[in-house]
Amino acid sequence: MRLSTVILPIHRWHQGGRERWRHAEELGFHAAYTYDHLSWRAFRDGPWFGALPTLTAAAAATERLRLGTLVTSPNFRHPVTLAKELVTLDDISGGRITLGIGAGGNGFDATTLLRSDEVPWTPRKRADRFGEFVTLLDALLREPAGMSYEGEFYAATEARNLPGCVQRPRLPFAVAATGPRGLALAARFGRAWVTTGDPKLYEEGNGARSREALARQMEGLGRACAEAGRDVAELDKVLLTGFTPEFNPRLTVGADRPFDSVDAFVDFAGRHAELGFTEIVIHAPVPEDGPGFDAAVPEDKLFEEIATRGAAQLAA
């Protein structure tokens, strides 16, 4: 099992931002991701920098670390412009980019580009857009010499992305999905599948129920792959931690929690490896004097111990 991290884009680059990405590489993480939002939750009134410029700077500051979004969505992205930026980023990084991509939610930046008289997208409309978004983005990155497209939501006229991605036939997609339509896209287009678990269980579930829900999601992915004529074993299975009930302190008082110790985290990761997960992602520490963060985050010392001793145990 591989171990990766998420670094929130809240740090000025020359005031600790660069060092966080370099430190992630020094600690030996497989990949470091960042969220792709215009603003996000409790951080909306403080610093929050753009994901792709941040990843570009991180690519120049590192040498081996894989980099990516977790995740990009159609909320404020267009496939044509995103494809151009991804080709550029893949080139600067020397082929170290993974695009985490999802349908998006109804957070603060979901309506930023809508006019005041426009109705926010329904879940069905969001899924419709996502299907077309992924299909067009895949084609744009695979056909760098130029292509045209006209769909219900997006259009492209002789869109060119020469010289194309360093990674062929294009950089890998990690598709975040839990429902049948999203899992079908993961099976068709993904190198990896991403989940945060069942959000309904965070407030009222437990570890056993969460793993049962994840097992059902894994079964859904298997069915989607079978329908697509693809071996589910070809996909990496990525769990972004912090949003399952094991990380809710109100539900686990008196019990071992994943961030109680290195051994507790390794036990948590091992249980999910048994479900078929191949990559676990933890959030990098955030400033204690910053706004509250609703995902569980390890303290600095434990973060480093998980990245070193914990990763060695998981690799074994």
* Residue-by-residue pLDDT tens, the chain, 316 positions: 999 999 999 999 999 999 999 999 999 999 999 999 998 888 888 899 999 999 999 999 999 999 999 999 999 999 999 999 999 999 999 999 999 999 998 877 888 888 888 888 898 999 999 999 999 999 999 999 999 999 999 999 999 999 999 999 999 999 999 999 999 999 999 999 999 999 999 988 899 999 999 999 999 999 999 999 999 999 999 999 999 999 988 876 666 789 999 999 999 999 999 999 999 999 999 987 667 677 788 999 999 999 999 999 988 8
- How many Å apart are CA 61 and CA 43, to the nearest integer? 25
- How many Å apart are CA 187 and CA 232, to the nearest integer? 8
**Paired residues of 279 in beta bridges:** 2, 238
- How many Å apart are CA 117 and CA 112, to the nearest integer? 13
- How many Å apart are CA 92 and CA 94, to the nearest integer? 6
Phi, psi of 54 (to 5 degrees): -60, -45
- How many Å apart are CA 245 and CA 93, to the nearest integer? 36
Q: Which residues contact 211 (CB under 8 A, 6 or more apart)?
A: 271, 272, 275
Residue carrying the six token digits 């419709």: 128
Secondary structure of residue 309 in the 3-state scheme: helix
Q: What is the pTM of this model?
A: 0.95
Within 13 Å of residue 106, how many CA atoms lie on the same side as its CB?
9
Q: Which domains does the chain have, with CATH numbers?
A: 2-315 (3.20.20.30)
